[in-house]
Amino acid sequence: MPLQQKRWRFKEIPEKDAKELCNQLRIDSTICSILASRGIKTFDQAKTFFRPQLGGLHDPWLMKDMRIAVDRILQAIKQNEKILIYGDYDVDGTTSVAVLYDFLSFISPTSFIEYYIPDRYKEGYGLSAAGIDYAASHQFSLLITLDCGIKSVDLIQKAKEKNIDTIVCDHHLPGNSLPPAVAILNAKQPLCNYPFKELCGCGVGFKLIQALCIELGLSNDLYVKYLDLVATAIAADIVPITGENRILAFHGLKKANENPNTGINALLEQSKIQSSLSINGLSFVIGPRINAAGRMGDAKRAVSLFIEKDFNQAKIIASTLQVENTNRKEADSSITEEALEQINLEINFQHKKTIVVHNEHWHKGVLGIVASRLLEKYYRPTIVLTKSGEFYTGSARSIAGFNIYDALDRCSEFLHAFGGHYFAAGMTIAPQHLSSFIDKFESVANDVLTENDMIPEIEIDAAIQLSDLNQSFYNILQQMEPFGPDNTKPIFCVKNAQNIGCRVVKEEHVRFEIAQDGHIMNGIGFNLAKKYEALNRPNHLDVVFVLDENHFNGKITLQMKVLDFRVSEK
C-alpha cells in the first residue's frame, strides 16, 4: 500500500480586515488573520466571539409553531393527559429526551410523563411504528418527538388516526411534505423565521424549555442547568459551533467543568479524566459511552443516567455503560481487523475509488465506527455491511466531494431501503443484489470523483515562525474554544525548519524536534513513521501542526501535534 499523500491548502486571508482588526484588538497579527478568515472583522464581533453571553440567545418565540407547542403541552399538563417523549438512541436523541423529561416532570410532578427510546436493531432510526403502537396501547394522547419525526409523515398520520397529537422537535432537513403534527419546531422548515438554523436536536428541545420557562414566569436557572447536556449533544452531533451553538457550547462546557449533571459526573469518574473538558472531550469521552448504550444494549439507560439525581445510582449506570463501551471497542477493533484483511485480499483494490466490505456475523452496532476507521486509513467512500434477517444492512461514510446520500440514490434500484446525508448514511440490500450494487456504487464514484478528490486536504490557517509560538500566543488561541465545525482548532505551518533530533518512536510515530533561527520546538506526529523513513529523514522540513500543551512530571510545555510534513524546498 503506497503512502497516503495529503494536499496542503492555505486559507485566503482578507488582509485589509485582518489589519483593521489588529488595530482595534492590539493582539497578535496571526490571530487577527485567523479571526478575519472566519468572518470576525470588528471589535464587537470579536467581543461576541471571545465572550459569548447567554443574553445573546435568540427569543424562542421566533421559532415557528412555538406558541402552539407550548400551549398544547400546558393543556396536556392541566388536563392530566399522558405525555410520551420519544427520542433516538444516539447522544443527541437521549440528551434531548433527558432534558425535556426532567423539566416536564419538574413543572408537573403529578402528570403522566414517560419516555421512549427505540430499539436500534428491532425498530431502527427515527420514529417507529412500534413506538406509535406503544403510545396508543398505553393511552398517551400527546407524543413529543426529539431529534426525529420531520420525515415521519405516514407514522404521524397513523398517530393522528389513533387520537394522538404529535409535537415534532427536529433539526434535520424536511422532506417534500411535512408531517401532520399539531406543531413542528424545526428552524429548517419553510416559513420559519428563527435566525439560527443549525441547532442540534437537544438544542431545539432546549428552546422549547426556554419558552415554557418564559410562559410560566420561571427562573432562567431552570433551563440554564441543562446546558452541559446540550453541549454534549452539540459535540456528538458535529453541528457548526457558531452563532447560538457557540453560546450554548461555551456555557455548557463551563457547567460541565464546574457543576456537571450527575450522569456526566459519573461518566467522568469512570473515564478518569483529570483535565478540563473541551468539546473534543465531550465528543470522545462522554459520547462513545452514551452511544455504547444503544449499540451494545438498551439506550434507555443513557436517559436514566442523565435524569438520575443520586450520584451512587448514577455511578452504577455509568459502570454498566463503561463495560459496554469496552465491549464496543473490542468488537470495533476485531471487525476493523477483519475488514482490513478483506481489503488486502482484493486484487484490484488499488484501482478502485470505493470500499465495500461485508461479513454475515459482524456486530451491527459498530459498522459506522468501522467505516470511519477504514475511510481514515484509505480516504475513499466506504460501506460496511453485515447480515440482519433476510437482508444485508450497513453504514456508509464519505469524503469531501462525494455526497453519499446522492450516490445511494443513484444505486437505489439495488437497495431495499436507504437514508442519510452528505457524509454518512445507512442502507439495507437484498443478498441477490449485493454484487450489482457494489459495481454500480463504484461506477457512480468513477463518474463523480477525480484523482485529486482522492487525496485528503489539510486546510492551513497560517504560516508561522517558531519564534511566534509562546505561552501568551497559546493562551489567546485557547480563548477561541470551543472548537468544532466552522471554528476548528487553528492549523499552522512552519517552513524550512531544521531537523535537529526527530526520531521514530514505537515503530509508528515520530517524535519531532525542529529548530528555526535559534528557536526549538518539540512535537509528536502519530502514524507518520513510514513517511519519515520514506523521505529519508530529511534535514529540513515544512511541518503542519496544531499547537498543544504537553503535561509531564508536573511541567507544562508547548508542543506541536504534527498532522503532516514534507521536505523543504531549497
> Residues 275-293: pLDDT tens digits?
788 888 888 888 888 888 8
Q: Do 97 and 169 share a domain, yes or no?
A: yes
Sorting pLDDT into bands at 50, 70 and 90, what band is 182?
A: very high
Q: Do 445 and 497 share a domain, yes or no?
A: no
Q: Do 478 and 448 share a domain, yes or no?
A: no
Q: Do 471 and 350 share a domain, yes or no?
A: no
Cα separation, 264 vs 99, whole angstroms: 13
Q: What is the dihedral of CA 239, 240, 243, 247, to 10 degrees?
A: 60
Cα separation, 435 vs 243, whole angstroms: 45
Is pLDDT above 90 for 265? Answer: yes
Q: Do 196 and 242 share a domain, yes or no?
A: yes
Q: Do 108 and 218 share a domain, yes or no?
A: yes
pLDDT of residue 464: 96
pLDDT of residue 433: 96
Considering the domain boundaries, does residue 46 fall inside one? no
Query: At which of 411, 426, 454 does a domain end?
Result: 454
Considering the domain boundaries, does residue 34 fall inside one? no
Sorting pLDDT into bands at 50, 70 and 90, what band is 17?
A: very high
Considering the domain boundaries, does residue 33 fall inside one? no
Q: Write out the residue range of the structural domain in which residue 443 sits.
A: 346-454
| The three grid cell numbers given for residue 264, joined into one nine-digit string | 456526566
Exposure b/e, 460-472, CB count within 10 A at least 16 = b: bbbebebeebeee
Considering the domain boundaries, does residue 14 fall inside one? no
What CATH number is attached to the domain comprising 366?
Answer: 3.10.310.30
Residues in the chain: 570
Q: Do 300 and 375 share a domain, yes or no?
A: no
Considering the domain boundaries, does residue 26 fall inside one? no
Sheet with 391-397: strands ordered across: 355-358, 382-388, 391-397, 424-429, 417-420
Q: Could you tell me the pTM of the whole model?
A: 0.90
Q: Are 384 and 362 in contact (CB under 8 A)?
A: yes
Beta carbons within 10 angstroms of residue 555's beta carbon:
7
Considering the domain boundaries, does residue 331 fall inside one? no
The average confidence (pLDDT) of the chain is 92
Q: How many domains does the chain have?
A: 3
What CATH number is attached to the domain comprising 108?
Answer: 3.90.1640.30
Q: Do 288 and 352 share a domain, yes or no?
A: no
pLDDT of residue 5: 82
What CATH number is attached to the domain comprising 539?
Answer: 2.40.50.460
Q: Do 291 and 166 share a domain, yes or no?
A: yes
Sorting pLDDT into bands at 50, 70 and 90, what band is 4?
A: low
- Residues of the chain above pLDDT 90, percent: 76
Q: Do 378 and 446 share a domain, yes or no?
A: yes
Q: Do 378 and 402 share a domain, yes or no?
A: yes
Q: Do 421 and 488 share a domain, yes or no?
A: no
Considering the domain boundaries, does residue 27 fall inside one? no
> Residues 474-528: pLDDT tens digits?
999 999 999 988 999 999 999 999 999 999 999 899 999 999 999 999 999 999 9
> Residues 65-114: pLDDT tens digits?
999 999 999 999 999 999 999 998 889 999 999 999 999 999 987 778 99
Is pLDDT above 70 for 2? Answer: no
Considering the domain boundaries, does residue 23 fall inside one? no
